[in-house]
A and B are shown apart, each in its own frame.
Chain A
Amino acid sequence: DTGVSQDPRHKITKRGQNVTFRCDPISEHNRLYWYRQTLGQGPEFLTYFQNEAQLEKSRLLSDRFSAERPKGSFSTLEIQRTEQGDSAMYLCASSPGAGTGGHEQYFGPGTRLTVT
């Protein structure tokens, strides 16, 4: 399968704990996005990488959130001191960034986070 992959698929954690999610984009896609989706809503943009550079962060991304994309390949999203309001589906998407269809974003299966 050459699509976007995310790990883990599900994470249950206690309030106050730190969690880290991983996203592996489609090979050779230089643009990578993180979105958050709460129940019954559409995905909301969190942050964007072009290669290894993080070019934008949403106001939704508080200081407890940090994302990295070392070497411009996979990306990690870490949430520190989790709160119940962080419970959501965290989606990763990638796009080629150039050429025909360069703007088409392909999503991974998501990581479902439940904070108890």
Chain B
Amino acid sequence: EAGVAQSPRYKIIEKRQSVAFWCNPISGHATLYWYQQILGQGPKLLIQFQNNGVVDDSQLPKDRFSAERLKGVDSTLKIQPAKLEDSAVYLCASSLSGSRDNEQFFGPGTRLTVL
């Protein structure tokens, strides 16, 4: 069974530029998550989708970050404009449902460096 796919794996941009990350979850998984992992910290949930609807985006900096999951399958996370503090690994995860204790499967992540 294919795992969660993410691209690109690495991205380097200048501050104030925009960037987009793509995620393809495991087939059949209704719930998709985006996490931000800053160096030396644990992953922090940015946004959670159930199919194509947002369940939780309370920690998403909405002035610069946006995410969509238009057809309830793959998802895109965008940052515009980027700041130095956005340098982090962006992790996508998926689970069969959003019910508590449903195992989340993580992709390899996209490492973003903002110069």
Are A and B genuine complex partners?
no
- Contacts from A to B (Cβ < 8 Å): none
